[in-house]
Amino acid sequence: MDILDRKVRDEIENSINSIGFELMEIECSPNSNGLKIVTFIDHLDGVTLDDCVKASKLIEPILDNENEEGAYQLEVSSPGLNRKLITKEHFDRFIGKTVKIKLKEKIDNRKNYKGELLTRHGNEIEVMVDNIKSTIDIDSIDICRIVPKFK
């Protein structure tokens, strides 16, 4: 995540916002062809393949300006069905959904939770796990994902 400069991240975010999308996350990892950059975008109405192509066309010139060697592989994607919840607004939007949470460190001898996201107050969320309400500080969460329901 620290591979991309903050200025570049801000420029990408501004470009994505300018076409009405939210920049959810940028994942960077070195690979044999240089740098793999996966950019996740979101919109309340969902994200189509055409949206990803449009975003990619905005992001590529920014990366080309910063990376003179051009050794990168860009992917633009929607967050998917098992999307990460990162911001407080994400938690608010998905109240009532089943989430899977992995904490950075154990709390009460437990690191993993799976249950219904009940509410968010300030920097804490409440999750119903095995008929017990658990309060979790958002800063203690390593990763939180929606658990998709299939019919």
Query: What is d(CA 53, CA 101) in angstroms, rounded to the nearest whole number?
Result: 31
Element of type H or E holding 110: strand 110-121
Provide the pLDDT for residue 144: 97
Average pLDDT on 101-115 reads: 93
Min mean pLDDT across 3-7, 36-40, 78-82, 132-136 is at 3-7
Q: Is 121 exposed, middle or buried (0-12, 13-18, 19+ CB in 10 A)?
A: exposed
pLDDT confidence tier of residue 3, bands split at 50, 70 and 90: low
Number of H helices, E strands in the chain: 3, 8
Residue 31's pLDDT is what? Answer: 82
User: How high is the mean pLDDT of the chain?
Assistant: 91
Q: Which residues pair with 120 in a beta bridge?
A: 125
Q: What is the pLDDT of residue 1?
A: 38
One CATH from 3.40.50.1000, 3.30.300.70, 1.20.1090.10, 3.40.1010.10 for 6-77: 3.30.300.70
Place 69 in a pLDDT band, splitting at 50, 70 and 90: low
CATH of domain 88-146: 2.30.30.100
**DSSP-based three-state secondary structure for 123:** coil
| Domain segments of the chain as ranges | 6-77, 88-146
Choose among 102, 101, 84, 104: nearest CA to 93: 84
pLDDT given at position 66: 75
The pLDDT assigned to 55 comes to 96
